[in-house]
A and B are shown apart, each in its own frame.
Chain A
Amino acid sequence: MNYRAIQAIYLFEMARTWRTLLQSIVSPVVSTSLYFVVFGAAIGSRITEVEGVSYGTFIVPGLVMLSVLTQSISNASFGIYFPKFAGTIYEILSAPISYFEIVIGYVGAAATKSIILGLIILATAGLFVPLHIQHPVWMLTFLVLTAVTFSLFGFIIGIWADGFEKLQMIPMLVVTPLTFLGGSFYSVNMLPSGWRTLTLFNPVVYLISGFRWSFYEIADVSVGLSLGMTAGFLIACMVIVAWIFRTGYRLKN
């Protein structure tokens, strides 16, 4: 293992995060606060309670997940897309490192950043509503698993994309709608039964449900199923990444 190379890529990517602190940390915090104002204060005052939890409190796990999902994807996709765009990828490809090491470096950094971000958003939420986390270890497990899985997914998008539009396309057209419809702001049980069945095809439901369970022990689907679905998506992403590197898809001629 070329640990120094992993470290070099990881630190390089983290340095990029600190350099772009405003857009990487501050803007998600601002938008989360806005969600609290709109959904928590304005709408929450009419809904009051969901499954025994106040509405403002209920949406916290969903909000954290919303940011972690979108940020993991955008961090990782941009992290690998930019060297391709700027041409500096030549150095990564000509270095004595394995594909596995490249992925650990980029995906590790992207996941780290979104985990930090998730925790900051959680802290921000704590300023608006009282928070109580029943299973902190499971909460962290879901957080890390989700961050890593979606950073891998972002890495795939970054390699696939051959323009900035494509880089934005999947997060905008697929991930954000799935997250909004995945029970960030409501319990799936509140939906009419037809919609509820349809919602179960949305992978994000399982992430948010499991994550919410670690907070309040309320879940739309069983925790085991949530964990299984997340792990399944993780494995699927790993298989695709392995294929990308084996074939050199969009990286090597």
Chain B
Amino acid sequence: MSPIISVSNLSKTYGSGFKALKGINLDINRGEIFALLGPNGAGKTTLISIICGIANPSEGRISIGGRDIIRDYRAARSMIGLVPQELHTDAFESVWATVSFSRGLFGKPKNPAHIEKVLRDLSLWDKKDNKIITLSGGMKRRVMIAKALSHEPQILFLDEPTAGVDVELRKGMWEVVRTLQASGVTIILTTHYIEEAEEMADRIGVINKGEIILIEDKATLMQKLGKKQLTLQLQHKLDAIPPALAAYNLELSDDGHAVTYDYDTKGDRTGITSLLNDLRNAGIRISDLDTKQSSLEDIFVSIVRAP
């Protein structure tokens, strides 16, 4: 199936000479949830802004559902709903008016039933006549999502949707995103919360200093994460791993006082019980043990920090 969004060789250089994006190539599949991770200033928002028509690309091409975002901007943009990172709302409009306005702006005929559904799904229905200025931050965020969904987009961009949102509301937001995906909407979200990407995404992309440095299925990434490491502190210094224990691929520390063992938590047998048995049989006594699992966060940090 052809990708719903295709970014090829996209670069962005600001007037100041700052290169925000360098030769980005990215395909987003129809119906997936794609999480774009990256530190502050990595280029996440710039990338989204260009795709949505808010900033001009310096180089490269983008097509949405096969439509070029510049030549065929009407068709391309009408497929997209955008929820920006900052809470930009009209303070004195009512929730109903601002959401209806967005629908009109995208050229769709009035459809109160749809607006009602969107507001109900986002638990905003009882606030529909309130002025936006009277709403809490979390509600404003949901109003912005409602605006983005008002014109029934096929693609939804969520730029840091849960930044500054409490835990409960964040879970609620995830629920909304899942429901949207079930209805066929493709979702691209940027986030700082690794946990969020782990929870939601089908695929994960990491962007740093204007370059995409990793795109991978979450399942594949999680498999890498499934690895755990067991470290055993030994009572007596060991010069070498006894041949009887060769099958475990143990690694001996430089000082000879610790061995480490890698195992897969997802496997049927971790091999820990037999390892401990065999160690005892070999006469090796253990003083302490410790297990460690690398998280998506560790992977992320190690990728981003790499020179």
A interface vs B, CB < 8 Å? 2, 4-5, 7-9, 11-12, 15-16, 19, 86-88, 90-98, 248, 252-253
Bound: A90/B15 CA distance, A: 20
Q: How far is the CA of A15 from the CA of B78 in the complex (A)?
A: 25
A93 proximity list for chain B (CB < 8 A):
53-54
Is the CB–CB distance between B53 and A94 below 8 Å?
A: yes
Contact partner of A96 (CB less than 8 A), chosen from B14, B74, B86, is B74
Instruction: Say yes or no: A253 contacts B55, CB within 8 Å.
Output: yes
Q: How many chain-B residues does the 8 Å CB contact rule pick out?
A: 35
* B193 on the A face (CB < 8 A): no
Q: C-beta contact mask, B65-102 vs A, less than 8 Å → 1, else 0?
A: 00000000111111010101010111111000100011
On whether the beta carbons of B104 and A4 are closer than 8 Å, the reply is yes
Given A4-B107, A8-B105, A252-B54, decide whether A94 and B90 contact each other with a Cβ distance below 8 A.
no
1/0 per position for B45-71, CB-CB distance to A under 8 A? 000010011111000000000000000
Interface of A is mostly: helix
Contact residues of B: prevailing secondary structure? loop
When the two chains form their complex, are residues B82 and A94 in contact, meaning their CB atoms are under 8 A apart? yes
Q: Is the CB of A88 within 8 A of B82?
A: no
B108 within 8 A of A: yes
Determine whether B164 belongs to the interface, using a CB cutoff of 8 Å to chain A: no
Contacts of B52 in A (CB 8 A): 94
Chain A residue with minimal CB distance to B54? Answer: A93
B147 at the A/B interface (Cβ < 8 Å)? yes
Check A252 against B56 for contact (C-beta < 8 Å). Answer: yes
**Contact, CB under 8 Å: A97 / B88:** no
- A86 and B106: CB pair below 8 A? no
What A residues does B147 contact at CB under 8 A?
A: 91
State whether A87 and B86 are in contact (beta carbons under 8 Å apart), knowing that A4-B104, A252-B55 are contacts in the complex: yes
* B17 on interface, CB distance cutoff 8 Å: no
Which residues of the partner chain A approach B15 to less than 8 Å between Cβ atoms? 253
